[in-house]
Amino acid sequence: MKKMKQGVLIIAILILFGGFCFGQTADAIVKKHIEAHGGTENWGRIQSLKISGDFTAFSEVKPYTEYKARDGKFYSNHHKGQYRVIEGCNGATYWVDDPWFELGFPHVANEAEKYVIQQKAEFCTPFFDYQQKGYTLSYEGIEKTEGVDTYKLELTRESSYRETWYLDTATYLEVMSTSRWADFAEPTTQQVFYSDFREVENIVLPFYTERVFSIRNRVVEIKEVEINPEFGAAIFNFP
Amino acid sequence: MLLYQFQFRKNGLATFKALSIMMISIMVLTQIQAQNEWNQFRGSSRNGVVNQANFPEIIPTSVAEPVWSKDIGSGFSEVVLSDNKAYVFYADTLHANYTYLAALEIGNGEELWKTRVDSMWVEVDGWGHGPRSTPAIDDEAVYCLSGYGQFVAIDKDDGSELWKVNLPEEFGTAILRWGFSTSPLLIADVVILETGGGEKQAFTAFDKKTGKIVWSTGTGMASYNSPMVADINNQKQIIFANDTMLYALNPTGALLWQYRMPLRGPMAMPVFIAPNRIFVSSVSNTGSFVLEVNDTIATEVLKSPTMQNNWSSSCYYQGYLYGFSKAKLQCVSVESGEMTWGKRGFGKGSLIIVGDKLVALSDQGKIIVTEATPESYQEVASFQTLTGKAWTAPSYSDGKLFVRNLSKVACYKF
C-alpha cells in the first residue's frame, strides 16, 4: 500500500511538472543552440546578409546569391537546371519568377511557396526570437538521427505549420529538420541535412545544406558570407 | 591386330581425353572472357556486379589521370565493351547533331569507325540530349535504340548497318517525354525490347540476324525500364517492370506470371536475388518490394520504404542491396528492408560492384570505392574523374574503368 502511494505520488509529480521540465529543457536547448551559432549578441548586430555560393539542382552546379534582411525580407537568384529562378519578399509580398512554370512573368507566391520563402528568409534557424515571432516549441526527447544523438524539437509557427528539428546533443547545432515545402508550387514535405559549420565574423553557419523533397535533392554550398552589405532594398520588391 | 586395336583404343582414349580437356578449357576461357566483358546494360550478368576474386590493389587517389579521354558528345548510355573495343552511343552535339554508335580502341580511345543511327534526341527539359538506352553486343553485332525509337543492328567489326526497325512506325509507339530508354536484352537468337505498341505489342523479340519479329506480346506503353533475365525454378524468365505491372515471360514470349506492383513506373531495373527473388524499387514513398517466385506464383515477401531508387539500379551482394535511395548511398538488408548504413554527399549517383568493393560514381563524376559490407560505410579510395553531370553508371572490364558524361568518355586503369 505504501509503495502504491509512493508510485501515485511520483506519477502526480511527473504530470504536474513534466511539461514544465520539458519546457525548461526546450528553452535550455535553444539557448545553447543559439550560443553554438554565435550567440544572441552577435546575431543582434546583423541587419542583413549576402550569401553566395553554389546551388545544385538536377545535378547541375551553378552559382547562386541570396540577400536576407530583418523583417523577413528576402531575395534569391539561383538556377534550377537550365533556368534562372528568382524569389523574393519585401516583408509583405512574396513572389516567384520561375521559367519552369512557363508563365513568362513573375507571380505572387501561393501559400505553399510563401512558406518556402519564409523558411529561406530566416536568419539561420527559426529559433532566434522564436517567442517574439509567435512560434511555440516543445521538446520531444533524444533520437538517433544520421548516426548521431539529437534533441528532437517540434516548432509550430504562427501559421500553425509544424517543423521538427534535430540538434546534435554534443554541439547543439542542427543535424536535420523536416517541414512543409513546395514542388512546382504544390505542397510537399522536405528533409534538410546540415553540415560543414563554419564561423564568419563570430556567427556560425552551415556551409553545406542538402534538401530532399519529393524525388528531388538540392544542395547549397556557401562560398562567401557578407554581413551587413550595402545594397538597394528595391531588390526585395515584386518585379 | 589385337595389339594394334589395343594401342588404337589406348591412344584414341588419350587423344579423346586431351581433346575434351582442350574443349572444356576453351569453353571456360570463353565463358570467363564473356563474363569479363561489359557487353550490355549493367554488364555481362546484367546486374551491375563483376565477379572478380581480386580487386585491383592499385586504386587511383585524389586526381587520377585517365589512360585516355575523348570528346564525344551527349548521351546517357553506358559504355559497352567487347573484344578490346569500347562502343559509345552518343549524340554529336559538337559537330553534326546526329546520334552515332562509335567503336573505339579500348587501349587508347582511337576511333575505329562510327555509324550514324538517327537524328539527335533533343531533350526538352534540359537534362541532356542524346541516347539513353545502352546497346547490347553479341559475337557479330551491336544492337542500339535511339531516343526516337530507331532500333538498329550494326556489324561490330566494320560498323555497317545490318538492319533497322523504327518502333513508332512499326508499332505505333508513342515517343516518351524523355526518349526511349529501355536497353535491349539478348537471349539465344533473339534481341528483346519493350516496344510499347499497345495490344499484344508491348514486348517484342526480334530475330538477331534479320530484325524480323519473332514474337510480340503484352499490353502497355513503353516505359523507361529495361528487362531483366533470371533462371528461376529451372526456367529462364524475362522480367518486365512496366507501369504498375511486373510480367514474367519465357523466351518464347509466353506469360509465366504477372504481378500488380505496389508502386508505379520504376525506372531502375529489377534486381534478381538467387534463387527465386526479385527486388523492385522506385523513387516513391513506397520505396521497394521483394517478390518470391515459386512455380508461377509470385508472392510479396517484403515491402520497405528504405530504398527509393530513381533511375540508378541497386546491386545485390551477399544478402544486402547497395544503391542510391534518391541521393543517399545505402546498404539495405534484403531480408528485413532495414538500412544498415547510409552516406550522403554524392548526389543522385550510380554504382557497380567489382569483386568485394562498391564502385560508386557521384553525380558530379567522383568515383568512390568502398567495402561491400553491411557493417558500416568503409571508404577505400576516391578520385575525381570527368567534371560535370554524370548520370551514367561506370562500366568495368579487365582492370579498366570507363566513365562518361554529357561531353566526354574516359578510361581509367583500375
Name the grid cell of B93.
Answer: 552535339
CA atoms within 13 A on the CB side of A76: 24
Average pLDDT (A15-29) is 61
pTM (predicted TM-score): 0.89
Q: Which of A58, A178, A190, A214 to mutate to test the interface with B (most CBs of B within 10 A)?
A: A58
B391 interaction partners in chain A (CB closer than 8 Å)? 59
Is A212–B389 a contact, with Cβ atoms under 8 angstroms apart? no
Q: Is B15 helix (H, G, I), strand (E, B) or coil?
A: helix
Categorize the per-residue pLDDT at B17 as very low, low, confident or very high, splitting at 50, 70 and 90. Answer: low
HSE at residue B48, side-chain half, CA atoms within 13 A, is 29
Structure confidence at residue A2 (pLDDT): 54
Q: What is the grid cell recorded at B146?
A: 535511339
Q: What percent of chain A has pLDDT over 70?
A: 90
CA dihedral B345, B346, B351, B357 (to 10 degrees): -50
- pLDDT for position B3: 42
Of A61, A82, A210, Cβ closest to residue B344: A210
- In percent, how much of chain A has pLDDT > 90? 84
> Is a pLDDT exceeding 70 seen at residue B118?
yes
pLDDT digits (tens, 9 = 90+) for B59-115: 666 667 899 999 999 999 999 999 999 999 999 987 878 999 999 999 999 999 999
User: Is the CB of residue B126 less than 8 Å away from at least one CB of chain A?
Assistant: yes
Characterise B303 by phi-psi region: left (phi > 0), alpha (psi -120 to 50), beta (else): beta
What average pLDDT does range B378-403 have in this prediction? Answer: 94
Whether B343 and B377 have beta carbons less than 8 Å apart is answered as: yes
Q: Would you call B347 an interface residue with chain A, using a CB distance cutoff of 8 Å? A: yes
State the pLDDT at residue B29. 46
Do strands B379-384 and B62-63 pair parallel, antiparallel, or not at all (unpaired)? parallel
% chain B with pLDDT above 90: 82
